[in-house]
Amino acid sequence: MFRAKYGYLLEDEDVRRWFDNLAAKSLLTATVYLRNLGLYCELNGTDPKGILRDDGSKAFRDRFADFVRRLEREGKASSYIARFKKVLDDWFALRLRHAAAHYTLIS
């Protein structure tokens, strides 16, 4: 059976919940977001819980700005870089939204 490179992230119940909620709308989006979250963690030597611990801190903002500038210097497209911000914003939103308002129902 195929094993996704960042599939191990789904062992964390919060990541699994986030993924399952995204997948209720679109499995493709959920898979892309998981890959982007995993790649961000890999490139920055962190994990999803570490990102949440640092959310809102000056250190996180500085690291993220440095990350963006590094990708720009590497010639990455702005749309590629913007995906990381979108994924991290959604990851942060999971813990900020009221559960009933955040979770998608499968019809």
Q: What is the pTM of this model?
A: 0.84
The per-residue pLDDT for range 53-62, each reduced to its tens digit, is: 887 789 899 9
The per-residue pLDDT for range 59-81, each reduced to its tens digit, is: 899 999 999 999 999 999 999 99
Calculate the average pLDDT of the chain: 87
Residue corresponding to tokens 């898979």: 31
Residue corresponding to tokens 């000056």: 58
